[in-house]
């Protein structure tokens, strides 16, 4: 007897993308790692890539977002505890990231290209779940600032670089490994951190390395369950940088009060919070009154991670879209064989390759701090790459989602989570206007950095006539000083696109470089993805970027 409830057989559906090496199948990332002298880390990158491509890790990401953190301000007896409870999958993600050194690789590995290796790890792992990467990024970024206070850095560095993840809420002295956060912005100031009103009172003589009491409010505290934080506060001598901890050195609780967790568009697994300092203990880091200068290295590092995160979002969008299109058919052909869909997929791939290339070139400047040329390039490339890569991520995520049609709008596809995450990096550590103004400021204060930037572009001279014309046009645009601030966004966009084109012409397959120059250089620019001109080798571009299970 037939079962009348069995009304149909499921056919022509894709399969879940899992069981692949997310690093090895990312050709442009592998090539960038080798290009920047970090190929020695291939084995550990592939190990992380296999974990990132596993069904187990992907389920951790889904669970961590489906079960967001919960704030417990008091215990059942009414004692103030200020504890955030996370789903077990969040801790598994954190443990994996820390055990692979994503939180501190450049400070714990002396081999060449350590920042490049760490950047490749971040780009690979971010696609699994982005929210937990915030405390990972903060922990990476805190050490350069702490080194302005060498005695403090020497005490904390072994725990900050440890590959042991310990989420226990206990004093630092009882832990093998610790994580760090940051709290700079306040509700009255936003990006204008010099308007901060948190007050720091010296306990004793004060000064660098001295103990202080801090009272105030922070509008955004990243990762409030971190063991320690870098913060800004107004000391008698001006805005200064401080290190504080959830537990005082004497083992008592430091009264950092978590007021609420932010209800955010994306980044749901991360417990971004609003906090108050009720006379907390802290120690000054660096010179009094030079807080912004002290903490700026941390900010620069997190801006690199914003660029990497946006590139990772694009890569994940490409992986999911190309995989789906290869496994679903319409009108007698797979979707990726349909000319118009192939055009859309190829342009998504090209955009992803360009984002990865510029992000990894930026990471390489962090490895070459002893080189004056690389330091000068970083001053310009950091805001330029951060601005444009972050701007492109939401558009890219939306188009990747659409490649799956209605299936992409369903949470199970993972693309809605990717889409909600995509605007985050554009607003974190400097929104678009702030970043563009930083680029103008860098050019004004350090004209030689602009010359180094242009020299980097010229390395591709003669490789493509469209690029040569774009570089000449950019030089002319940079020479026009009228209404510079009003034109800041268009100028920075031009700088970013031309840099991406230069990198692709120099390093990418001819089909990729040709497609990018055809779509991005010239008048007007692209209106939507899927506008590559006839003659572009869409098939080879898509095949280069599509994940392969079992490879």
For the segment 323-349, the average pLDDT, to the nearest whole number, is 96
Ordered DSSP codes for 145-156: HHTTSHHHHHHH
Element (H, E) at 60: helix 55-66
Q: What is the 8-class DSSP label of residue 336?
A: G
Q: What's residue 233's pLDDT?
A: 96
Confidence of residue 184 (pLDDT cuts 50, 70, 90): confident
For the segment 378-385, the average pLDDT, to the nearest whole number, is 97
Tens digits of per-residue pLDDT, 408-436? 999 999 999 999 999 999 998 889 999 99
Other C-beta atoms within 10 Å of 365: how many?
A: 22
What is the percent of the chain where pLDDT is above 90?
87
Q: What's residue 8's pLDDT?
A: 77
Q: What's residue 1's pLDDT?
A: 52
Tens digits of per-residue pLDDT, 119-159? 999 999 999 999 999 999 999 999 999 999 999 999 999 99
Residue 526 has pLDDT above 60, yes or no: no
For the segment 540-547, the average pLDDT, to the nearest whole number, is 96
Q: What's residue 3's pLDDT?
A: 61
| Distances in whole angstroms, Cα of residue 128 to Cα of each of 256, 266, 415, 475 | 31, 14, 12, 40
Mean pLDDT over each residue of the chain, to the nearest integer = 94
Enumerate domains of the chain plus CATH numbers.
Answer: 27-160 (no CATH), 177-292 (2.40.110.20), 294-545 (1.20.140.10)
Tens digits of per-residue pLDDT, 441-460? 999 999 999 999 999 999 99
Asked which of 4-18, 404-418, 485-499 is least confident by mean pLDDT, the reply is: 4-18
> For the purposes of burial, counting CB atoms within 10 Å of the CB of 521, is it exposed (0-12), middle (13-18) or buried (19 or more)?
buried
Q: Is 496 helix (H, G, I), strand (E, B) or coil?
A: helix
Residue 64 has pLDDT above 90, yes or no: yes
For the segment 223-238, the average pLDDT, to the nearest whole number, is 96
Strand partners, 274: 260
Which residues neighbour 535 within 8 Å (Cβ) at sequence distance 6 or greater?
none
Q: What's residue 4's pLDDT?
A: 63
Residue 174 has pLDDT above 90, yes or no: yes
Helix boundaries (H) for 286-371: 291-327, 339-366
For the segment 480-507, the average pLDDT, to the nearest whole number, is 95
């Amino acid at each position: 007897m037939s079962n009348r409830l069995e009304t149909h057989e499921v056919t022509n559906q894709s399969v879940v993308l899992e069981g692949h090496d997310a690093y090895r199948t990312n050709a442009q990332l592998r090539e960038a790692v080798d290009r920047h002298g970090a190929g020695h880390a291939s084995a550990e990158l592939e190990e992380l890539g296999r974990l990132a491509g596993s069904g187990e890790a992907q389920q951790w990401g889904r669970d961590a977002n489906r079960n967001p953190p919960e704030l417990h301000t008091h215990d059942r007896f009414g004692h103030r505890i200020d504890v955030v409870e996370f789903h077990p999958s969040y801790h598994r993600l954190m443990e994996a990231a820390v055990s692979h050194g994503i939180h501190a690789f450049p400070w714990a590995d002396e081999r060449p290209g350590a920042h490049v290796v760490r950047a490749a790890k971040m780009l690979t792992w971010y696609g699994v779940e982005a929210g937990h990467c915030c405390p990972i990024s903060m922990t990476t970024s805190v050490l350069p600032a702490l080194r302005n206070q060498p005695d403090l850095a020497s005490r904390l560095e072994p725990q900050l670089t440890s590959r042991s993840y310990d989420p226990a809420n206990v004093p630092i002295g009882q832990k093998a490994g610790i994580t760090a956060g940051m709290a700079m912005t306040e509700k009255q100031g936003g990006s204008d951190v010099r308007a901060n009103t948190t007050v720091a009172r010296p306990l004793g003589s004060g000064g660098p390395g001295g103990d202080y009491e801090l009272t105030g409010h922070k509008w955004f505290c990243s990762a409030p369950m971190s063991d320690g934080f870098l913060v800004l506060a107004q000391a008698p001598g001006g805005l200064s940088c401080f290190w504080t901890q959830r537990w005082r050195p004497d083992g008592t609780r430091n009264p950092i009060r978590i007021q609420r967790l932010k209800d955010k568009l994306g980044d749901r697994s991360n417990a971004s919070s609003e906090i108050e300092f009720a006379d907390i203990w802290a120690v000054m880091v660096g010179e009094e009154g030079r807080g912004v200068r002290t903490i700026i290295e941390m900010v620069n590092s997190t801006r690199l991670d914003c660029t990497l995160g946006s590139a990772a979002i694009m890569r994940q969008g490409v992986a999911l879209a190309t995989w789906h299109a290869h496994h679903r058919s319409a009108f007698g052909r797979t979707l990726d064989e349909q000319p118009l869909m192939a055009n859309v997929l190829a342009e998504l791939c090209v955009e992803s390759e360009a984002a990865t290339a510029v992000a990894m070139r930026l990471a390489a400047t962090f490895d070459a701090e002893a080189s004056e040329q690389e330091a000068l390039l970083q001053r310009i490339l950091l805001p330029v790459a951060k601005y444009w890569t972050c701007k492109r991520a939401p558009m890219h995520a939306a188009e990747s989602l659409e490649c799956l049609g209605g299936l992409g709008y369903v949470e199970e596809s993972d693309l809605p989570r990717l889409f909600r995450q995509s605007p985050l990096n554009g607003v974190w550590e400097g929104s678009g206007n702030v970043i563009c103004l930083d680029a103008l400021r860098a050019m004004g204060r350090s004209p030689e950095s602009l010359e180094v930037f242009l020299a980097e572009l010229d390395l591709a001279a003669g490789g493509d006539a469209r690029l040569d014309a774009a570089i000449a046009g950019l030089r002319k645009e940079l020479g026009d000083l009228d209404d510079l601030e009003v034109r800041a966004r268009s100028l920075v966009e031009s700088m970013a696109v031309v840099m991406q084109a230069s990198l692709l012409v120099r390093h990418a397959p001819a089909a990729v470089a040709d497609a990018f120059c055809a779509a991005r250089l010239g008048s007007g620019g692209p209106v939507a993805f899927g506008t590559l001109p006839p003659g572009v080798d869409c098939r080879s571009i898509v095949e280069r970027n599509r994940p392969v299970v079992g490879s």
